Chains A and B, each alone.
Chain A
Amino acid sequence: MTDHTVKAFDDDINALRALIAEMGGLTEDSIDKAMAALSTGDVALADKVVAQDARIDELDANIERLVVQTLALRAPLADDLREIVAVLKISGLVERMADYAKNIAKRVETISAPTRVEPLSLLPSMARIAREMVKDALDAFAARDSKLALQVIERDRAVDDFYNSIFRTMVTFMMENPKMISESAHILFIAKNLERIGDHATNIAEMVHYVATGTKPPEREKATLIETGLEN
């Protein structure tokens, strides 16, 4: 795209994009570390995820500050306006995904005891899909790629299906192993966190579609999540 006549406006937009990239990279790293810590029971690694979240929150605050400043000083319009609004929303979504990663990391301690339950092995495959969605949603934003954004949106269904399947498995498991209720509940929460990460990646992808095309993506059929019975 052609540069703005006022070069400082381009600098602002580039700075915002760089902040989103940094924040997104850290968040992807947090999700990876949280899942690695979970599968190996590595509490020290989990603590790193918790520590990293402070930096992500700080980036979110910086983005908000720069967005407000850009809106006030540049009064952006058209593509620029859509981009700035998207940056603000995406920043909030990434910040919450990082919170879910932190939440997963905090549970490592509680289920890293010798009594590691077997259904834990269900989580990595679910995490992999959610994690790919996060990466592709952020890549789509960097490249203003509406096609890739639509692919991310399509994949949310798989994460929801995974969640439903884990939910059923865990209910059965808890009935058969009443001593494992506490660990099982943690696993359910982790599955829920991964499901929410998938949702937020989907929301980012929707914003990317809006930035790139000026329109919201077409409505898709949504999965029904079993614990609420509500469409997600």
Chain B
Amino acid sequence: MVTSPMADMRNSDPKMTARHVNVFYGEKQAIQDVSIDVELDEVTAFIGPSGCGKSTFLRTLNRMNDTVPSARVEGRITLDGEDIYASGMDVVQLRARVGMVFLKPNPFPKSIYENIAYGPRIHGLASGKAELDQIVEKSLRRAGLWDEVKDRLHDSGTALSGGQQQRLCIGRAIAVEPEVILMDEPCSALDPIATAKIEELILDLRGNYAIVIVTHNMQQAARVSQRTAFFHLGRLVEQGPTTEIFTNPREERTKDYITGRYG
């Protein structure tokens, strides 16, 4: 039994909703009938074995699947009640509002400053150099990177350590003032200390952004999220408060997966 996302009462409308979403890659169906809400004041974790569809589903939330020619999305996904797959939707604008951070840090091969400034500049968020400087500083501070890079803003972003690069990418996502941040395995390529810094950052950012994180690390999902959704074979098997999912899951498949009995 999949719990209805509408089952628990909420004070406010969800930031994003997905209803009966199917995703196909050519003939192959990767996601089957997934319905879920993403709340503004929460970190939502997607967990599940490799190939379960969690990353595919994450990518439907900012239409990243549009870049895959064979991909087709059915169902309804909304941001603030607005259908993001509607014909008039500006996808570039959508991806500014719903930002994304990937598994491997992917800074532009440009300076630290330019990595952050690029987005605000093309979206016209700054009216001059001074304002752009402010956005760069603010974004790097929020990403917990400012103190480490403030004296070398014009060094290349790719010269930073892996953990710093990932925080730079988070800073780059933040710079365009998104409402939702999607993170696809943001710590998988990082050591434990860099991972801890990213997790601390996620906890800091919570409340200002709706955050959705895909992770293979159970403990990480347990540490950073308030809500957890378990995917298996393209379906949403179970979702609920993170503490419930990790101490007393209702579904046998969830239990087998999180306790390491998945065969």
A positions within 8 Å CB-CB of B: 1-6, 9, 75-82, 214-215
CB <8 Å contact, B246 and A77: yes
Q: Which residue of A lies closest to B249 (CB)?
A: A78
- B248→A75 contact, CB < 8 A: no
Q: Is the CB of B259 within 8 A of A78?
A: yes
CB distance from B156 to the nearest CB of A (A): 38
Chain B contacts of A4 at CB under 8 A? 259-261
Chain B residues in 8 Å Cβ range of A82: 247-248
Dominant SS at the B interface?
helix
B222 within 8 Å of A (CB atoms): yes
Contacts of B255 in A (CB 8 A): 78-79
Known contacts A2-B263, A78-B255; 14 additional CB pairs below 8 A are A1-B261, A2-B261, A4-B259, A4-B261, A5-B260, A5-B262, A75-B218, A75-B219, A77-B247, A78-B249, A79-B255, A81-B246, A81-B247, A214-B247
Contact with A along B243-263 (1 / 0, CB 8 A): 000111100001110111111
Closest 6 A/B residue pairs (Cβ): A214-B248, A2-B261, A77-B258, A80-B259, A4-B260, A78-B255
How many residues does chain B have at the interface if contact means C-beta atoms less than 8 Å apart? 16
Give chain B residues whose Cβ lies under 8 Å from the Cβ of A215: 248
Contacts of B262 in A (CB 8 A): 5
Could you tell me the distance in whole angstroms from the C-beta of B1 to the nearest C-beta in chain A? Answer: 16
Question: Are B259 and A79 closer than 8 Å at their CB atoms?
Answer: yes
B219: A residues at CB distance < 8 A: 75
Instruction: Give the residue name and chain of the B residue nearest to A85 (CB).
Output: B247
Expressed in whole angstroms, the minimum distance between the Cβ of B179 and any Cβ of chain A is: 32
Q: Is the CB of A78 within 8 A of B246?
A: yes
Query: A8 to chain B: closest CB distance in Å?
Result: 11
Pairs across A and B, CB under 8 Å, 11 listed: A2-B256, A2-B263, A4-B261, A5-B263, A75-B218, A77-B222, A77-B259, A78-B246, A82-B247, A214-B247, A214-B248
Q: How far is the CB of A134 from chain B (nearest CB, A)?
A: 27
Closest Cβ of chain B to A76, distance in Å, is 7
